[in-house]
Amino acid sequence: MASLNQYSAGKRSEALKSKRVFLLLAETFQALGDSSRVQIVWALSKGELCVNEICDLLEMSQPAVSHHLRTLRNLKLVRVRREGRVSHYSLDDSHIDSLLREGITHVEDMIS
Amino acid sequence: MASLNQYSAGKRSEALKSKRVFLLLAETFQALGDSSRVQIVWALSKGELCVNEICDLLEMSQPAVSHHLRTLRNLKLVRVRREGRVSHYSLDDSHIDSLLREGITHVEDMIS
DNA sequence: TTCACATATAAGCATGTATTGATATATGCA
DNA sequence: TGCATATATCAATACATGCTTATATGTGAA
């Protein structure tokens, strides 16, 4: 990707870093690029929830929810707090909420 | 999705609107959830580019780039300005840039 | 009109991903 | 220990997506 150097402050290390950033960035957006997962994230932006509650909210099977939570966890979009048998999920950091809000703003502008 | 009503200000119309928003939101994030497309968007955040220039920058075939641009266009992430035979692409609105920056911030926090 | 160039679209293959159903782990309680 | 609950993982199927090759559209120039 030498042709991208002009965008990466000219340094090779910066170019490589950018490449890695792009890959992670794409994975992050992809994790949010699913109707089920984006609803999970949105629900979690209102507060902590356990797996069972998410299943009920989204009317989805437990394995499917666990699978999605794993995807979100892998990208550090959500985090778990285990309490006995119950796993409580919440957003991992404040950027996630900002990201969601920016996205909603764009989509709502798009609709109206 | 009646179980989601508590999140939509109690009104049925709001619940339906939210459902539509979620679908569009997921599609939008999905459009950004590809390494090639997110690089295109990032490149366009630096300024307008024609298809040919994007092909060179990303070292991708012209049909592949056109295909991605179509995806981005459909979700109003980029827009075209035709000038003779040349199509000039740019970001459609300022939210796109904000979205990208929020994403990069999250990913860079994640790495460090 | 005819040619060349810039971009767009189509068909096909290869890979990736979401969902389901079954099963595994792990905790709490009797 | 034995059982029920909460969550995680696995295997298989079905569907979606990216890239390539080939072709089409559309514009400008000769």
Query: Residues A25-41: pLDDT tens digits?
Result: 999 999 999 999 999 99
From edge to edge, which strands make up the β-sheet containing B86-91? B49-50, B86-91, B78-83
Report the pLDDT value the prediction gives residue B32, as an integer from 0 to 100.
Answer: 98
For the entire predicted model, the pTM comes to: 0.87
Query: Residues B56-105: pLDDT tens digits?
Result: 999 999 999 999 999 999 999 999 999 999 999 999 998 999 999 999 99
Protein-to-nucleotide distance from the CA of A64 to the C1' of C23, whole angstroms: 15
Protein-to-nucleotide distance from the CA of B62 to the C1' of D22, whole angstroms: 13
Instruction: Enumerate residues 11 to 70 of chain B having a beta carbon within 8 A of any beta carbon in chain A.
Output: 20-35, 37-39, 42-43, 46, 56-59
> Closest to B103 (Cβ–Cβ): which among A23, A29, A105?
A29
Instruction: Enumerate residues 2 to 21 of chain B having a beta carbon within 8 A of any beta carbon in chain A.
Output: 3-4, 7, 20-21
Using CA atoms, how far apart are residues A17 and B30, in angstroms rounded to an integer? 23
Report the pLDDT value the prediction gives residue A20, as an integer from 0 to 100.
Answer: 87
Query: Residues A70-99: pLDDT tens digits?
Result: 999 999 999 999 999 999 999 999 899 999
Tell which residue, A84, A80, A57, A83, has the closest CA to residue A69: A80
DSSP bridge partners of A86: A83
